[in-house]
Amino acid sequence: MAEKTIDIQSLEHIFDNMVNVMDQSKNDIFTISEQSRQAFQEMQNELGIIKEEISRVITEGDYLEDMTRHSRRRLADVSKNFMKFSEEEVRKAYETANDLLVRLSINRMEEKQLRVRRDELDRRIAALLDTIERADQLVNQVTTVITYLTSDLKKVGEALESARQKQDFAIQIIQAQEDERKRLSRDIHDGPAQMLANVLLRSGLIERTYTEKGPVEALSELNQLKEMVRNALLEVRRIIYDLRPMALDDLGLIPTLRKYVSTVMEYEKDVTIHFMNNGTEKRFESNFEVGIFRLVQECISNALKHGNSRDVWVKVEWLRDTMNIVVKDNGKGFDQNQTKEKSFGIIGMRERIELLKGEMKIISSIGNGTTVFFRVPLLETNLVE
Residue 317's pLDDT is 93
**pLDDT the model gives residue 178:** 58
* Topology of the domain covering 11-150: Helix Hairpins (1.10.287)
Helices (H), 214-285: 215-243, 247-251, 253-267
Length of the chain: 385
Residue 291 and residue 226: Cα distance in Å, rounded?
38
What is the DSSP secondary structure assignment for residue 310, as one 8-state letter? Answer: S
Q: Per-domain residue ranges for the chain?
A: 11-150, 154-243, 246-382
Burial label for 384, CB within 10 Å (0-12, 13-18, 19+), is exposed
Task: Quote the pLDDT of residue 360.
Answer: 93
Looking at residue 341, what is its pLDDT?
44
| Helix or strand holding residue 99 (H, E) | helix 87-150
Beta carbons of 379 and 357 less than 8 angstroms apart: yes
Residues of the chain with pLDDT under 50: 1-6, 152-163, 165-166, 339, 341-342
How far apart (Å, rounded) are the C-alpha atoms in residues 291 and 113? Answer: 59
Is 312 strand, coil or helix?
strand
* Tens digits of residue pLDDT in 257-292: 998 899 888 878 889 999 999 988 888 888 888 889
In angstroms, the CA 248 to CA 242 distance is 12
59 contacts 183 by C-beta, under 8 angstroms: no
Whether 11-150 shares its CATH topology with 246-382 is answered no
For position 362, what pLDDT does the model report? Answer: 92
- Please count the CA atoms within 13 angstroms of the CA of 312 that sit on its side-chain side: 27
**346, 338 Cβ separation under 8 angstroms:** no
DSSP E strands: which ranges in the chain?
272-278, 311-318, 322-329, 359-364, 370-377
- Tens of pLDDT, residue by residue over 341-367, are 446 577 778 888 888 889 999 998 888
**pLDDT at position 5:** 41
**Per-residue model confidence (pLDDT) at position 143:** 74
Question: Which residues, in sequence order, are CB contacts of 253 under 8 Å at separation 6+?
Answer: 281, 283, 284, 289, 292, 293
Closest C-alpha among 251, 249, 262 to residue 314:
262
- Virtual torsion, Cα 237, 239, 244, 248, nearest 10 deg: 40
Taking domain 246-382, whether its CATH number is 3.20.20.140 is answered by no
- pLDDT for 144: 74
